[in-house]
C-alpha cells in the first residue's frame, strides 16, 4: 500500500460506535396504526409560536405520514384574517420545510382554516362551535378536537372558561370522540398563579384531557435517559451516592433575550428555565425505576424526586445560589441595553443553583443546575461525575489526582451519550490520558427522528401523557423555588447579588465559589 492509500489514523481520544455495528430500529418504533381523524385548533395562531414551531411541526408530521388522513387545522386569534390570508401567512412557515415542486405544501395548506375571535366574548365561541361542527363533517375529522393554547400566560384560564360555556370542553352526550387541550409553559408565575390556572382549567377539563407541554421532555435524547438508565443492567448498580460524586446539569444559550425581552424582564432565568426544564432534567436523572412503562407510573417517580428536594433556608440560598446578568461586549448589547429592558434592571440572565435530593439513593450528592444566556456555547447536557478511585497505586509516578470518570448525557449540540475513562498514553513514559466512548444518535440512520414539537403534538393526538407535566409536579416545583425567588426578589441587597459577566463567557467568575472547577469538567 502506498502512502496515498494509507487510511487516516483514528481520533486518539475517541472510541465511536459505527452505524453498521448497530442493529436497525425495530418496527415497533413506528406508529402501530394510523391516528384517528381529528381537528387541531391553534389559539394564538397569529403569534410567533404558531408560525415558527407549531405549523411547521404539523407540516413535518403531514410530510412523514404521521397525521391522520382526515384532519383540519383551524387558526384562531384576534387578527382580522380569513382562510386565504391565514394560508398565505403560514405558507412562508411551511415552504422552509418542503420541496415546493412536490405539491405537498399546497396540499397541506388546503387543510388550514381561520376563525377570528375575541378571547373574552362568549358569542365568538358559539360561532366557533358551529364552525368546528361544520369542519368536522366536511373533512371527516368528526368530533375529535385538540385545542392548542399558544397564548400569553394570562389567557388560558379565560379561554378554558369560554370553551366550557360553549360546550366545547367535553365530548358530546354519547361520548363520541375526544377533546384535549395543550397548555404551553410557563404554568403560572408563582405557586399561587399556578394553582389558579389549574383550578380554572379543572372546571372545564379533566386532568387526563390537559397536556402541559415542556418541549425539552420531547427531545429524543431526553427520552433516552430513562431507557439508558433502566434498560441496561450495567449502570443502575452504580447510579447512587456510593459511586456518584456530583451531577452537573447545564442548559446554556449563546444568544441573548432578543425579541423576548419584554417577557423575560418580568420572568428572569429562574422562572424561565429552572421551574420547568432544569428540574425536569434533574428528575429524570434522579428518579427511581417505575414499576411499569406507563405515564402516571413514570410521573409518580418524578414527583417523588420533587418531594425529596431539600428545602432552602435563607442561609442555604446565600450559599448555594449565584446569579448573573450579561453585560456589554464587543458589538454585543448588554442585557440592560436590550429593547424593552430597564436601564437599572436587576433581572438575572444566569443562575447556578446547588441542590440536594434527600433520599436513600442520593443523600449527600450535590446537583448543580446551571443556565444562562449569552454564554460561550449553546449546550444542554447532564454530566455524572463518579467518585475518585479509592487508592492510587500510581501516585509515586503520576501524583495523587486522577481525573474522575464522567458520563455525559448530551442533548445539544450533539445528541450523544459518552463515557470518559483513563487509559495509558502511548510512549515509553507512564502517563494517563482521558478518552471517551461515544454513542451518537446521528450515527444510526434507521428509524424516524422527530423534533420536539412534532413528538409532543403526536403524543397529544394519541392521548399519551408520558412527556407532559402533571399538576402536582408543577406545584411541587413552584413550592421548592418560591423561597429562592422570594429571597432574590425581596431582599435589600439585590444589586450586590447580581454579578455581571462577559458575553461569550461561562458566566460570572464568582461561580467558582460554588463549583471551583467550573466549567472545565462539564465540557
Tens digit of each residue's pLDDT (9 = 90 or more) over 339-367: 999 999 999 999 999 999 999 999 999 99
Task: Find the mean pLDDT for residues 262-282.
Answer: 92
How far apart CA 18 and CA 439 sit, in angstroms, is 9
Are residues 506 and 375 in contact, defined by beta-carbon separation less than 8 angstroms?
yes
What is the overall mean pLDDT for the chain? 88
Does the pLDDT at position 25 exceed 60? no
Can you tell me the mean pLDDT for 173-201?
Answer: 89
How do strand 14-16 and strand 432-440 relate by DSSP bridges?
parallel
Cα dihedral 356, 362, 365, 370 sign: negative
Q: Is the pLDDT of residue 12 over 90?
A: no
How far apart CA 298 and CA 456 sit, in angstroms, is 17
Residue 128 CA: distances (Å) to CA of 115, 124, 133, 155, 481: 7, 6, 9, 17, 39
Q: Which residues participate in catalysis according to the annotation?
A: 277
Chain centroid, CA 355 distance in Å = 20
Q: How confident is the model at residue 450 (pLDDT cuts 50, 70, 90)?
A: confident
Under 8 Å CB-to-CB from 494, ≥6 apart: which residues?
346, 488
Mind listing the pLDDT tens digit for each residue in 58-111? 999 998 888 998 999 999 999 999 999 999 999 988 887 776 667 788 999 999
- Greatest extent of the chain over all pairs of C-alpha atoms, in Å: 84
Phi, psi of 95 (to 5 degrees): -65, -15
Q: Name the E strands within 425-520.
A: 432-440, 468-469, 498-501
Residue 399 is predicted with a pLDDT of 65
Is residue 365 within 8 Å of residue 247, measured between CB atoms?
A: yes
- What whole-number distance in Å separates Cα of residue 366 and Cα of residue 316? 13
- pLDDT mean over 431-452: 77
Average confidence (pLDDT) over 440-447: 68
pLDDT at 165: 96
Other CB atoms within a 10 A radius of the CB of residue 244 amount to 20
Amino acid at each position: 500500500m502506498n502512502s496515498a492509500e494509507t487510511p487516516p489514523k483514528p481520533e486518539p481520544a475517541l472510541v465511536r460506535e459505527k452505524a453498521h455495528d448497530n442493529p436497525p430500529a425495530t418496527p415497533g418504533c413506528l406508529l402501530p396504526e394510523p391516528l384517528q381523524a381529528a381537528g387541531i385548533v391553534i389559539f394564538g395562531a397569529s403569534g410567533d409560536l404558531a408560525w415558527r414551531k407549531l405549523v411547521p411541526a404539523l407540516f413535518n408530521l403531514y410530510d412523514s405520514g404521521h397525521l391522520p388522513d382526515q384532519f383540519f387545522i383551524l387558526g384562531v386569534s384576534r387578527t382580522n384574517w380569513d382562510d386565504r390570508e391565514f394560508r398565505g401567512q403560514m405558507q412562508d412557515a411551511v415552504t422552509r420545510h418542503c420541496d415546493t415542486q412536490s405539491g405537498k405544501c399546497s396540499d397541506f395548506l388546503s387543510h388550514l382554516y381561520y376563525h377570528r375571535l375575541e378571547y373574552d366574548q362568549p358569542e365568538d365561541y358559539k360561532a366557533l362551535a358551529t364552525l368546528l361542527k361544520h369542519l368536522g363533517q366536511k373533512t371527516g375529522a368528526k368530533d375529535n378536537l385538540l385545542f392548542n393554547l399558544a397564548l400569553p400566560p394570562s389567557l388560558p384560564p379565560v379561554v378554558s372558561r369560554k370553551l366550557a360555556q360553549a360546550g366545547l370542553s367535553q365530548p358530546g352526550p354519547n361520548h363520541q370522540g375526544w377533546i384535549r387541550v395543550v397548555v404551553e409553559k410557563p404554568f403560572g408565575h408563582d405557586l399561587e398563579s399556578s394553582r389558579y390556572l389549574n383550578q380554572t382549567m379543572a372546571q372545564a377539563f379533566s386532568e387526563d384531557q390537559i397536556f402541559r407541554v415542556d418541549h425539552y421532555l420531547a427531545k429524543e435524547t431526553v427520552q433516552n435517559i430513562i431507557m439508558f438508565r433502566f434498560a441496561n443492567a450495567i449502570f443502575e448498580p452504580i447510579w447512587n451516592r456510593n459511586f456518584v460524586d456530583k451531577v452537573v446539569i447545564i442548559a446554556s444559550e449563546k444568544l441573548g433575550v432578543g425579541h423576548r425581552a419584554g417577557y423575560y424582564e418580568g420572568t428572569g432565568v429562574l422562572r424561565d428555565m429552572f421551574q420547568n426544564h432544569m428540574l425536569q432534567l434533574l428528575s429524570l436523572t434522579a428518579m427511581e425505576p417505575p414499576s411499569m412503562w406507563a405515564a402516571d407510573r413514570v410521573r409518580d417517580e418524578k414527583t417523588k424526586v420533587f418531594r425529596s428536594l431539600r428545602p432552602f433556608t435563607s442561609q442555604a440560598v446565600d450559599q448555594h445560589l449565584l446569579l448573573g446578568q450579561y453585560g456589554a461586549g464587543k458589538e454585543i448589547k448588554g442585557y440592560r441595553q436590550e429593547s424593552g429592558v430597564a436601564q437599572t434592571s436587576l433581572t438575572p440572565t444566569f443562575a447556578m443553583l446547588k441542590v440536594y435530593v434527600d433520599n436513600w439513593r442520593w443523600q449527600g450528592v450535590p446537583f448543580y443546575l446551571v443556565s444562562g444566556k449569552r454564554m460561550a456555547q449553546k449546550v444542554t447536557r447532564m454530566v455524572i461525575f463518579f467518585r475518585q478511585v479509592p487508592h492510587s497505586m500510581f501516585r509515586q509516578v503520576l501524583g495523587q489526582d486522577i481525573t474522575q470518570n464522567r458520563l455525559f448525557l448530551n442533548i445539544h449540540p450533539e445528541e450523544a451519550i459518552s463515557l470518559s475513562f483513563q487509559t495509558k498514553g502511548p510512549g515509553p513514559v507512564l502517563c494517563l490520558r482521558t478518552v471517551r466512548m461515544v454513542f451518537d444518535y446521528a450515527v444510526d440512520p434507521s428509524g424516524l427522528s422527530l423534533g420536539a414539537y412534532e413528538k409532543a403534538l403526536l403524543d397529544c393526538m394519541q392521548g399519551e401523557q408520558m412527556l407532559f407535566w402533571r399538576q402536582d409536579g408543577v406545584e411541587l416545583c413552584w413550592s421548592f423555588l418560591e423561597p429562592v425567588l422570594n429571597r432574590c426578589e425581596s431582599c435589600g441587597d439585590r444589586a450586590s447579588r447580581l454579578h455581571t459577566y462577559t458575553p461569550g463567557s461561562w458566566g460570572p467568575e464568582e461561580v467558582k465559589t460554588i463549583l471551583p472547577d467550573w466549567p472545565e469538567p462539564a465540557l
